[in-house]
Structures are given as structure tokens and as C-alpha cells.
Structure 1
Amino acid sequence: MPIWKRNLIVCWFGMFVTGVGMGQIAPVLPLYIDHLGIHDTALIEQFSGIAFGITFIVSAVFSPIWGQAADRFGRKPMLLRASLGMAVVIFSMGFVQNVYELIGLRLLQGVITGYGTACITLIATQTDKQYAGWALGTLSTAPIAGSLLGPLIGGYIAETLGLQNVFFITGTLMLVAFITTAFLVKESFTRQDKKVLSAKETWNIIPNKGLTIIMFVTSFVLAVALYSVEPIITVYVAELSSNTNHVAMLAGMAFSASGLANIIAAPILGKLSDRIGPQKVMLAALVAAGLIFIPQAFVKNFWQLMVLRFLLGIAMAGLIPSVNVLVKKITPDSLTGRVFGFNMSAQYLGVFGGSILGGQVAAYWGIKYIFFITSTLLLINAVWVYFKVYKNLALYKKENEEERKKWKI
């Protein structure tokens, strides 16, 4: 088996395990905050948004730093650093005594995270070029598959074993990812330059800056859309459900509906993207996701929400993989780690912005308004992609006629 295929399998498993671990935490976070002594619903919503989002705002700062380190020292060391660090920090969350200690550990997690970024960079640089798009698309299903099982497992553990055990088990899963990576990932790494480029110098040598900026902004908006609802969806499920004894389990099911749809749709949309071009799939998926958010504000019961979350997962399956494929194609191999680091920073900022936005809007205006605001952001982004991405790719095609087949435009 070629080394890049083995690396893909190991990275897929590692990102899947990481996704399972992280997915376990999200639906039980409001319940854990209540367990720590915060009982007012509005305060739970606000602290949930802060605790969930603080990890990602710090990650946005450190992601380009770890991306540059990956370009200098190799991607495998970054995989080992991130997986072991997260194992220790998340395990420690089970011992916190108050919400402020929890927020502090979530902040520390943001400093050391980056397993997914290192995996994407490793696969993008080590995979044969003719398989790069397929490999990146396949890799993108790993955290989705993890997010499918994670909330269900987290809800079950919370109800049967207790909230603290969610963090202990998650930390153990991170340790499994560390051990698997240490023994099975192989990297043929050659440092391409000895000079450490600053962020400004890196940006100056990036080709097609306009398209790159649009990809960063799109990643930001997608993360806002996904995570504006996640910190408070447990509260929304509690409002919709008459069975308050199984809120954690039902919230896990709501989280998992999107993940299941994503896994089903991702291979289909990936093949469609290879045939008609990733920019077209991206545009259609943005419009569909923007429209699907609106009726979520008007659901009358939990099962209506489940159906809409499933449809949202189908739309989202065409977005992040398309962005990653486009970023890979317009980025030189020597800068892949840093550019993916910047792109991941945009996603982390979106996660933070979305979680804070969701918590604050829910606390002051009501949960329904989150869906309206998120829908508006997605549709505005769709209009921008329509006018700017098509224009940039059309210019690129004219200047590089021999690249037409690669871009499929």
C-alpha cells in the first residue's frame, strides 16, 4: 500500500476519534455548566457560548503558528503534539470545580489544538496530485463521522455514567489518536527553505490572493452558520420536547442528524464537484443551507427539527470539502501548511463568533432569531461567491488555458 494511502487511513481514524471526542462535549456542555452551579437559563446560554467558543478564538491565533511549524519541522510532530496535549487537557476538565476553571481549560485547549489542520496539510502535501481532491474529500468525512457518533455517545454517557465521565472518556480517545499516529504515520518531509517567513512575507508570495481571501471568508461564514446554533441547541430541544428526562440524548440526536446526512452526501457531491467544478457545488450548497435555516425557527416539535437538520447536513456536505480543494489547487506545496493554517484560523474565528453570537442572541432576543441571522449571512455569502469566485476563476482560465480541465469551468 502506498505511504500516502496509509497516512490517509491513519489520519482519517485520528480525525474520526477526535471528532467523536469533541462531539461528545458539545451537547452536554450546558448541562455540565448547570452541574457546576449555574442554574439561570440565560446565564447557562451565555456561559455555554463563551466556554464553547473560547477554544476556537485562541486556536485562530495559534493555528498559523502551528502551520508554520509544520512547514518547518514536519506535519507528524504537530499531530503528536496536538493529540497528546488535548488528551491531557480534556481529561482534566472532568475535575473542574466551577465554570471559570472549565473556561480556562477550554482556553488552554485552543493553544495546543491543531490535529485536523496538521492532517489536512499532511495529506495535501504527501498525496499524489491526481488523487489530492479525492483524498481531501475523503478526509473531510472523518470529523463528520465522528460528530455523528460523538453526540449520541456523549448523551448516553451523561445519562448513564455521569457528566464528568464524558471528559474522561474523551481524553482517553485523544490518547488513542496519539498512539495510533505515533506508530503508523510515515512522513517524507524535506524542509524547502531555511528562512522563517513572516505572515506578511508569506502573504506576498501567495498567488491569486483574491480567490484565497474569498475562501477564507467563506470558511468563516460556514463556521458561524454551523456553530451559532450548536451551543444552545440543547436548550432549544428542551423547549420543543415534552420528555425532559432525555434532553441530552435528544440533543445528541439533533447534532447527529446533520452528521449522518453529511456522510451520505459527501461522496456524491464530491463526484459532482469533480465533474462540474467545486465552485458550482459550493454556490448551490450555500443557497440551500441559507434557505434551510429559516424554517428551523418555526418548528413545532423535535422531529421537525431533526428533518431540517438532516437536510442542512446534505447542504453542508458540499461546502468545506469544496473550499479545501480550491485552497489546495491555488497554493504552492511549500506554503500549504501556512495557508491551511490561515484558513483554519478563519474557521476558528467563525466558530468563536458563531458560538458567542448564538449565546448572546438567544439570551436577549430568543433562539428563533439565531436562525434568521445565520440564514442572512449564508445568502449574502452566496451572492458574493457568485460574483467574485466565478469572476476570479474565469480570469484564471483565460490566463491559464491549459488549466481548464483541472478547474472544470
Structure 2
Amino acid sequence: MSTADRVQRRNLVLLWASQFTNTAGLMVLVPIMPFYVQGMGVRGTAEVQTWAGVAIAAPALALTVATPLWGRLGDRVGRHWMVVRALVGLAASMVVMAVASNPVALVVGRLLQGTLGGVVEAAQAFASAVGPGDKRGSALGKSFSATAAGSLTGPVLGGALVGAGQLDGLMLAIAAIATLLAGACALGLRDPRAARPGTRPAPQDRSRRPGFWRTGFWQVPGAAPLAVAAVAAYLGVYGLIPVFAEHVQRGFPSGQAGLWVGVFQSVTWGATLIASFWWGRHNDRAQRPVRALAIAATACGVSIAAQALPLGAAGLVVLRIVQGASFAALAQSLFFHVGKHAPEERRSGCVGAANSFLLAGQSAGPLLAGPMAVVLPTHASIALLGAACAVAGLCCVRALRGEHPHRDHDRAEVLTG
């Protein structure tokens, strides 16, 4: 095994562990946020739901603004330092949330998590930016699988500890693990290209380099329709979460609704975990990430809209598997396309800007789903959220005009050896 291969493998291990820790920590609180807020003394259904919704959306809202700025800074000081920074931010925010005694302090901790954290975003930007051209898709697929694994593990830990009042200790433990991982990433994360004999970073033309606030994202082929697609797809997927719980509660016995929501959630993320690897390898082979994004967004939309039908447990399990497998392609395909078309000196900033559109949809979905569910029947809300993902698929079809696999620089490198 060459030195570059060893560096790449070490990078993937560190990034996977970092993303898993971050996502598991987030998902410990998200599904049980209403109960956690109630434990702080908040009373009344409206008050509890309001504070829980704000706390859930806070990190994504902060990340929407902060991610492209951190990505642009990563292009200047080194991408691995952004992963280290995100882990330190995660640790700090976990401490704040662990000692929070009221919902205001909890929201402050969540905002801190979004502003200084963003482990998943930093790790995905690193993987898409420095992954070798012929293996960038696989690197992104493996990296994204950590998010799915964390989303499977987090709710189990949260559900097991919420009744015992041990969530504070768990959050402090996550903070300690994040701190240790930050040290490991500071020492171990390296650009694998630097390990290749005779390879030196390309000099940057400072006179042509954009300012700190400009990432160059809009120079990526199909940037505008892909930005709309990112917002619409994640709005549909994440807007479904609160609506789906209400849908299950109405369609299943009241005493079993919580159990079934957990089952459907686990099935979805299990499919995402498995499919993440396949989509990564597929993007490496086909070099058509926008086409993959179009197919996945459309399949996601159809599977979500169909969940409004009275299909029973078996039908919902099938649809959630399709949804999870399709969802696995969304972020990594977008990052793959942006990463291979963005200039080297702007790559992290461009990936960060692309991720901001995903985060915008991720935060808007849950915030809009509640009021929409009040105005519309639950099945109509689910159908509209599915339609949002279908719109994302149409936008990707529009962006396909900018995808030229045979002209791609990375593919040329692969073909020429």
C-alpha cells in the first residue's frame, strides 16, 4: 500500500468517527426534544412545541450562514483545520447544552453548535475536496454513511437515557470524545496528494482569488437550478419528520404509535446507511452525479407522497426503504458535482455554499411543516412535501445540461492514468 493510500485510509477513519459522533450527539436530542424542553419547566403544548421547534432548527439556521464562510477559510488555512474547529465547536456546544437549565440557554447552545460546529459539513467538504478523482465518490459515500449510522444510534441512546435523567452525562461524554477526536484529526488528517512523490500544491494567483465572502459557487455548471433543488429536496425530506409522526399516530393504535415511528425511522436510516456506499461507487463509475441527483430526488418525492396513502405497516416499510436509499444520494452527489467542477483554490468554499442550500431546506422544512399541518389535512401535507422533492428532481434535469462527463478534469486524469 502506497503512502498516499495509507493517508487516505486514515483520513476516512478519522472523518467517519467524527461524523458519527456528531450525528449521534445531535440525534440523541432531536427526537425527544419536546420531552427535554418539558424537563426544563416549560408547560403547555404550544409553548413546548415552539421551543422544541426552535431548538431543532437552530443549528441548521446558523450553519446556513456559517458554512460557506468556514469553507472559504478552509481554502486559505487548510481544510483539515476546519474539521478540528468543528469538533471543538461540537464539544463546547455540548457542554453548554448539558448545563442549560432553561430553553433560552438550550437554544444558545444549539446556535453555538451550528455556528462553530458543523462536523458533518466540514468532513464532507474535506472528503469532496481532497479525495482522489477516481475515488472521490466512494470517499463521499463512506463519509455520508457515518451520518446514517449516527442517526440510527443516537435515538436509541436518547430513548434509553431520557427516562433515567442521564442525558446531561451523555452530552458531557460526547464533548470529551469530540475533544479527543479534534486532537487526533489535528495530528492525523492530511491531504493525500501531499504524500505523493513530486506533488506540490498548485500556486494560487492572489490577484484573481475572490474575496472572503465570495466562494465561486455560481461558476459551477448548473449552480442556480441545483441550489433550488437542494433547498426543495431537503425541505421535503426534513419537513416530513414532524408530519409523519402525526400521520402514524392517527393510523396506528395510540399505544403503539411511538414504537412504529421508531421502527420506520430505523428502517429509513438503515437503508440510507447501506445505499450510501453504492451511490458513492456509482458516481465514481458513471461520473454523472447530477443525473444521480435527479433520479434520487424524484424517487424520494414519489416515495414520500405515497406515504399519504393508507398502506399499512408493510407498505410504509417499503416506502421508507425507498426514501432512505434515495436520500443517500442527495448530498453526496451534489458535493461530488460541485467538488469536481470548482477550482482547486475555491473548492471547500464552493462545497460549503452548496451545503448552505441543503441546510436552508433542512431548517425551513420543520418550521413550515407545523403551520402547514394546521391548515391542511396530514395526508395533503405529506403529498406537498413529496411534491417539493419532485420539483428538486425537475431542477436537476434542467442542470443536466451543464454536466459533461467526458470533459471533466478528474475523469481525464483517470483515463490517462
8 Å contact kept, 2:340–2:410: no
Structure 1 residue aligned with 2:197: none
Q: Closer, same or farther in 2 for the Cα pair 1:242/1:171, shift >3 Å?
A: farther
Per-residue deviation at 1:293?
0.9
Structure 2 residue aligned with 1:265: 275
Matches within 5 A, 1:6-405: 6-165=10-169, 167-187=171-191, 192=204, 197-198=210-211, 202-203=215-216, 208-231=219-242, 237-242=248-253, 244=255, 247=258, 251-276=261-286, 277-299=288-310, 305-365=316-376, 367-386=378-397, 388-393=398-403, 396=404, 400=407
Q: Closer, same or farther in 2 for the Cα pair 1:42/1:295, shift >3 Å?
A: farther
Single out whichever of 81-90 and 250-259 deviates more from structure 2.
250-259
Q: Closer, same or farther in 2 for the Cα pair 1:166/1:298, shift >3 Å?
A: farther
Single out whichever of 225-234 and 192-201 deviates more from structure 2.
192-201
Q: Provide the aligned C-alpha RMSD in A.
A: 3.2
Q: Closer, same or farther in 2 for the Cα pair 1:26/1:236, shift >3 Å?
A: farther
2:17 and 2:236 map into 1 onto residues whose CA distance is: 26
8 Å contact kept, 2:405–2:411: yes
Q: Secondary structure at the match of 1:355?
A: helix
Give CA-to-partner distance per residue, 1:195-246, whole Å, 9 cap, x none: 773267543xx68445123333222222212211335655555555546499
8 Å contact kept, 1:52–1:231: no
2:247 and 2:170 map into 1 onto residues whose CA distance is: 21
1:172 and 1:302 map into 2 onto residues whose CA distance is: 40
1:225 and 1:300 map into 2 onto residues whose CA distance is: 20
Give CA-to-partner distance per residue, 1:247-279, whole Å, 9 cap, x none: 3x6544433221100122222333334444323
Report the number of matched residues: 401
2:408 and 2:360 map into 1 onto residues whose CA distance is: 36
Per-residue deviation at 1:335?
0.4
8 Å contact kept, 1:25–1:166: no
8 Å contact kept, 1:296–1:308: yes
Partner amino acid for 1:382?
G
Q: Secondary structure at the match of 2:134?
A: helix
1:180 and 1:306 map into 2 onto residues whose CA distance is: 39
Q: Closer, same or farther in 2 for the Cα pair 1:299/1:289, shift >3 Å?
A: same
Per-residue deviation at 1:343?
1.0
Per-residue deviation at 1:342?
0.6
Per-residue deviation at 1:350?
1.2
Q: Secondary structure at the match of 1:2?
A: helix
2:70 and 2:375 map into 1 onto residues whose CA distance is: 37
TM-score normalised to the size of structure 2?
0.84
2:339 and 2:301 map into 1 onto residues whose CA distance is: 26
8 Å contact kept, 1:45–1:359: no
1:111 and 1:186 map into 2 onto residues whose CA distance is: 24
Q: Secondary structure at the match of 2:135?
A: helix
Identity of aligned residues (%): 23
Partner amino acid for 2:22?
T
Partner amino acid for 2:55?
A
Q: Closer, same or farther in 2 for the Cα pair 1:55/1:269, shift >3 Å?
A: closer
Per-residue deviation at 1:131?
1.9
Query: Any gaps of 5 or more consecutive residues in structure 2?
Result: 195-199
Q: Closer, same or farther in 2 for the Cα pair 1:308/1:174, shift >3 Å?
A: farther
Q: Secondary structure at the match of 1:297?
A: coil
Partner amino acid for 2:175?
G
Single out whichever of 3-12 and 234-243 deviates more from structure 2.
234-243
2:410 and 2:116 map into 1 onto residues whose CA distance is: 39
8 Å contact kept, 1:14–1:180: no
Per-residue deviation at 1:332?
1.2
